Amino acid sequence: MELEKKNTSYQHNETAAATIAAHYDTPPLAYVRSYGCQQNVNDGEKLRGVLLDTGFGICDTPDEADLILFNTCAVREHAEQRVFGNVGALKKLKEQNPRLMIGVCGCMAQQQSVVDKLRASYPYVDLVFGVDGIDRLPAMLAERLQKGKRYLENPRQRDAVVEQVPIRRDSGFRAWLPIMYGCDNFCTYCIVPYVRGRERSRRPADVLAEFRQLVESGYKEITLLGQNVNSYGKGLTGADAGDFADLLNLLCTQPGDYQIRFMTSHPKDASHKLIDTIAAQPKLCKHIHLPVQSGSDDMLQKMNRHYNVAQYLELVEYARAKIPGVTFSSDIIVGFPGESEEDFEKTLALIKQVGYMQLFTFIYSKRGGTKAAELPDPTTHAEKAARMERLLRTQDDIAFPMIAALAGSRVRVLAEAAGRAAGTLNGRLDNNLVVEFPGEESLVGQYLEVELTGSRAALLLGRQTGE
Ligand code: 5AD
Ligand code: SF4
């Protein structure tokens, strides 16, 4: 019942659109830049959709824009610094064009300290709102224009699920499809539960409706998004009840020429049922992004991850036994507070044992308000950077031979972009690796069969079969 109240639908705001239109001689243009994860990229697509619905045009560079919107990420300090730098650089543009509106939204704007800093030190920022503000953007813009005053919103609670938000997708063949929002896990290093609020799942019928629309419009690859997709369904009741594997089974049995990916799987909630589903469903990519974060039980405990290395490895072994050819990727944090040389070596041992195809590696970044921020952290940044170097070298030594060994096989790929070399295309394999092969750009967005002929570091090389 609680959920009933929190599900709402986007409503076109005609009054706001009229107010905005009255302020411009020609339709204003908006430039939206998103930082960070795919969830945020998807939010950026919705921001563009809402702006189009409100009478804005969308432009690809900030120079021609009447509204510049930074949709920000708070997960690491570096990302925040970049945003402050990029916002600072707009001061000149604003002096040249006083009509220009500048907005900062997304995860950074969910932190009071950031809002205070923007209020005090960035007077040329017109608009600040958090992750729940996408559907209210037209009203905020109208108020800003009408009152001629900055519109800065303090962080608000985020517990709604808003359906039917207009969207302008970046790609015509790959789509992001959020199935849930927020996170309840409170890994001790992570700011996401504080900025994106409590975990809530979309109803299966709403996910299905968007999914079918995507498939019917020709989308070939659909990536289901959630901070922890494996806990999908918590809080759904009655006809909506079901877990992530049930949702996958529902989606995978829809007719059409598509494949499904998903991220992110938290190991603590990855069930055998999920793995059996991946094994059974041909539309599901045989690749699991299963972030381990560390190979030390002590660190995992301090990170509040709720699994140990043995449990993680059992999961990997189960998946290997059930899903022929399955590949894994992972996230690793180097230099979590108190990580010793021995802890770090356990991470090296683990990545050797699992044999990940891809690794996303991060040096620990202290985030205010999280539990880990209070832990003593005696290791110097230089030591952490040196560990990172060793991690990357170890990973290359593991992954490059695995990738090279794929030469000789024939694979189906989705052509996704022009390659680096002229006249080539990049295609993505089921296992998320990329192959470069000669091909016409007009083939982008299609499935092709490619014979793998070799590799260069992590990049596969190949040729289309039948050529
Ligand atoms: N410092 C470094 N990396 C982090 N991540 C999340 N929070 C932090 C942090 N404070 C990493 C985790 C997560 C990925 C998306 O970002 O590895 O899985
Ligand atoms: Fe952050 Fe952990 Fe939630 Fe992922 S599962 S968003 S790492 S708190």
**Residue 163: inside a domain, yes or no?**
no
CATH code, 228: 3.30.750.210
Instruction: State whether the beta carbon of 228 lies less than 6 angstroms from ligand 2.
Output: yes
pLDDT the model gives residue 1: 36
- Residue 467 — very low, low, confident or very high, per pLDDT cuts 50/70/90? low
- The answer to whether residues 108 and 218 belong to one domain is no
Instruction: State whether the beta carbon of 192 lies less than 6 angstroms from ligand 2.
Output: yes
pLDDT digit string (tens) for 78-128?
Answer: 999 999 999 999 999 999 888 899 999 999 999 999 999 999 999 999 999
pLDDT the model gives residue 2: 43
Minimal-distance CA residue to ligand 1 atom 18: 331
CA distance 75 to 223: 21
pLDDT the model gives residue 160: 84
Among 231, 261, 285, identify where a domain stops. Answer: 285
**Residue 118: inside a domain, yes or no?**
yes
Total residues belonging to the chain: 467
Nearest of 316, 232, 229, 222 to residue 265 by alpha carbon: 229
Give the mutation target among 80, 190, 358 for probing the ligand 1 site: most ligand atoms within 8 A of CB. Answer: 190
State the closest ligand 2 atom to the C-alpha of 190, by its place in the atom list counted from 1: 1
**Residue 404: inside a domain, yes or no?**
no
pLDDT digit string (tens) for 263-280?
Answer: 999 999 999 999 999 999
Instruction: State whether the beta carbon of 291 lies less than 6 angstroms from ligand 1.
Output: yes
pLDDT the model gives residue 3: 44
Identify the DSSP state of 9: E
Among 123, 158, 193, identify where a domain stops. Answer: 158
291 CA to middle of ligand 2, Å? 10
Find out whether 36 and 72 touch, Cβ atoms under 8 Å. yes
101 CA to middle of ligand 1, Å? 32
CA distance 23 to 247: 46
- The answer to whether residues 309 and 198 belong to one domain is no
Which H or E run contains 454?
A: strand 447-456
- Residue 379 — very low, low, confident or very high, per pLDDT cuts 50/70/90? very high
- The answer to whether residues 342 and 303 belong to one domain is yes
Q: What is the pTM of this model?
A: 0.96
Tokens representing 242 are 């079901």
The 174-178 sheet, strands edge to edge: 174-178, 221-225, 259-263
End-to-end CA distance of the chain: 59
- The answer to whether residues 42 and 62 belong to one domain is yes
Q: Which amino acid is at 409?
A: S
pLDDT the model gives residue 466: 72
pLDDT digit string (tens) for 198-212?
Answer: 999 999 999 999 999
Instruction: Give the DSSP letter string of 248-277.
Output: HHHHHTS-SS-EEEEE---GGG--HHHHHH
- The answer to whether residues 64 and 144 belong to one domain is yes
**Residue 61: inside a domain, yes or no?**
yes
- The answer to whether residues 52 and 124 belong to one domain is yes
Among 158, 180, 204, identify where a domain stops. Answer: 158
CA 325 to chain centre: 25
- The answer to whether residues 23 and 142 belong to one domain is yes
- The answer to whether residues 350 and 306 belong to one domain is yes
CATH code, 384: 3.30.750.200
Nearest of 79, 8, 71, 42 to residue 225 by alpha carbon: 42
Q: What average pLDDT does this structure show over 439-452?
A: 97
pLDDT cut 90: percent of the chain above it: 95
pLDDT the model gives residue 374: 98
Tokens representing 440 are 């016409």
Instruction: State whether the beta carbon of 364 lies less than 6 angstroms from ligand 1.
Output: yes
pLDDT cut 70: percent of the chain above it: 99
Instruction: State whether the beta carbon of 333 lies less than 6 angstroms from ligand 1.
Output: yes
Structural domain total, the chain = 4
The torsion angles phi and psi of 348, rounded to 5 degrees, stand at: -60, -45
Instruction: State whether the beta carbon of 372 lies less than 6 angstroms from ligand 2.
Output: no
Instruction: State whether the beta carbon of 194 lies less than 6 angstroms from ligand 1.
Output: no
Strand partners for 214: none
Give the domain range for residue 276. Answer: 171-285
**Residue 166: inside a domain, yes or no?**
no
Strand partners for 106: 72
- The answer to whether residues 37 and 106 belong to one domain is yes
User: Count of CB atoms within 10 A of residue 297's CB?
Assistant: 17
Mean pLDDT is lowest, of 4-13, 39-48, 205-214, 325-334, for 4-13
- The answer to whether residues 291 and 313 belong to one domain is yes
Instruction: State whether the beta carbon of 367 lies less than 6 angstroms from ligand 1.
Output: yes
**Residue 200: inside a domain, yes or no?**
yes
Secondary-structure percent of the chain, ordered helix, strand, coil, rounded to 5: 40, 20, 35
CATH code, 149: 3.40.50.12160
**Residue 292: inside a domain, yes or no?**
yes
Average pLDDT, the chain: 95
CATH code, 441: 2.40.50.140
The torsion angles phi and psi of 373, rounded to 5 degrees, stand at: -65, -20
- The answer to whether residues 345 and 280 belong to one domain is no
pLDDT the model gives residue 7: 85
- Residue 157 — very low, low, confident or very high, per pLDDT cuts 50/70/90? confident
CA distance 183 to 431: 26
- The answer to whether residues 308 and 277 belong to one domain is no
Minimal-distance CA residue to ligand 2 atom 2: 187
**Residue 8: inside a domain, yes or no?**
yes
- Residue 156 — very low, low, confident or very high, per pLDDT cuts 50/70/90? confident
**12 vs 5, higher pLDDT:** 12
Q: What average pLDDT does this structure show over 243-269?
A: 97
Give the mutation target among 362, 384, 388, 391 for probing the ligand 1 site: most ligand atoms within 8 A of CB. Answer: 362
